[in-house]
A and B are shown apart, each in its own frame.
Chain A
Amino acid sequence: MFEVESSTRVERSSVVPGTEELIINMGPQHPSTHGVLRVILRLDGETVKDCDCDIGFLHRGTEKIGENITYTMFIPYTDRLDYIAAPSSNLAWVTAVEKLFGWEIPMRAHYIRTLVAEFSRISSHLLWLATHALDIGAMTVFLWCFREREMVLDLFEHAFGARLTVNAFRLGGLFQDVPQKFLDLSQEFADLFPGRIGDYETLLTDNRIWLQRTRGVGVISADDAIDLSLTGPILRGSGVRWDIRRAQPYAAYPYLDFVVPVGENGDVYDRYLVRIEEMRQSTRIIQQCLAQLPKGPVSCKVPRTIKPPAGEVYHSIENPKGEFGFYIVSDGSETPYRVRIRPPSFVNLGGLKKLALGGLVADVVAIIGSIDIVLGECDR
């Protein structure tokens, strides 16, 4: 937190009235801070002179909780980390634990996990696009995106019985196979969705006002993005082709064909384009998963009490927001010795100051939107 300077009054001749900098408290109750983020801005007029994030309003001690409960019991807690894309968080946890065991997961489980993870990417990106566009003032996109997001949530309900905190996966695979209706509806959605992305794009991509508001705003170079360890679309928007689905493949990604889109300028607009293209690629992945879905069991043989060997493991996946990882230390007992979460939003939010300095208040809103944070995993 920066010090409030007591002598901000500028010394000028007595004819010119003095100016003072304004310290404004954006959030935790603010429509555009996407949850309970508090940003303290020091403004000169509307220009941002300094910017500081105050996080932790949603801190629940998830890491500590992880030390006190078994590996299976922790899965529902991961739903509450990135609650916009709960299956992604589930996937990060179960794959990390499975890596600790060295289990062999059946291919059908891999494919269904990939399918659901991509659906969660679409649902997360839709929520991002909806709120990001709303922040910049385009209200219609918000409701259009929610129309499709509703379909994705309905799909989750078909497969797992819940819509938001789905608790989708189990250690060793899935709890049970998904119903045929889920697969049919998924196919229907995958056929319909690219047209809908086109609809959003007609409202935004070539819209002059949208271009003015996003081009050249919140620019970050590839080197700076790497230095700040930013991951996900914000890193790819700066032109770095780094996607864990490609770099360290997990689940069924090694068998699937998809493109990792990157931007050039690293501004808000490029991040927008990257995410739009990611939704298209996710649809492609879904199509391939449905076409290639192998038959067979959906879970490997899992012992009744899950006691992994003593040791430690770090495993991360490509969450819609960036690298989402778990570092687990096991002492051989039923509960982990230590659980450490590597949340993408927390790390990406660290870049806010660099992005926002020198911009206007309206840019801060656009930049927060383009970072795409979710406070559940930021505050843990």
Chain B
Amino acid sequence: MRKAIPTLLWRELESLFFSPLAYIVLTLFLVLSGFSFVYAVKVSLGVVADTVAVFLGDGPLFWVLLAVVPPLVTMRLVAEERRSGTLELLLTAPVRDGEVILAKFLGALVFQAFLWAPTLAYVRILRNYGALPDAGQLLTSYAGIALCTALLTAVGLLFSTRTSNQIVAAVGSLTFNVLFLVLPSLAVEERFGLARSVLQAVWPVEHFAGSFSRGLLDSGHVVFYVVATGGVLVLAARSLEARKWR
């Protein structure tokens, strides 16, 4: 890794944490995750494994968070630099387009790790009441969140490279996320054939219900998220290079 990536990453984190939007997103996240936790405790009727599963995988608010947060964090990453013109200064410095994309992606991920970190407090609360959540289940749940967030963050970044308007980027990637998370649930009937199998295979909700929330780590799922994230990041870098197409 060249030195450019840590430099760019640091700058990215600075501007993420210095923007007021970061704290609005943080507040929204805390409110929604709080509700999500209360909901999880209520529906699981005191079964700790179920509380964790609902809170970190099966609950509806969990999916709202997963779909809404990455677009809000990624929308400004490239779009704002394009709008203000700083993209030109960035890309005429001796850095590769791929390095810029990777640094922005990592910055967004670090920021979201910061968002999710307080949810560990809820787990601690469960312990206070004498119930011990299973460490393996927690580990796979957070692994699932990290993998799925990484993919949706890459998608958000791709949308952000396509426009100079943050709102367009946010709405575009949010629309993608909603379709990605909802569409497979509509294609449950046999008559959808191959489309159904494909959609079911890449459906994050199913990945969580079937493995991440149950304490299982399916290598197939891991490979899917890693490859898909990498693929979308390559597309994002190509999209940044699109200015060079003649």
B is a partner of A: no
B residues at A contact (CB < 8 Å) = none
Q: Which residues of A contact B (CB under 8 A)?
A: none
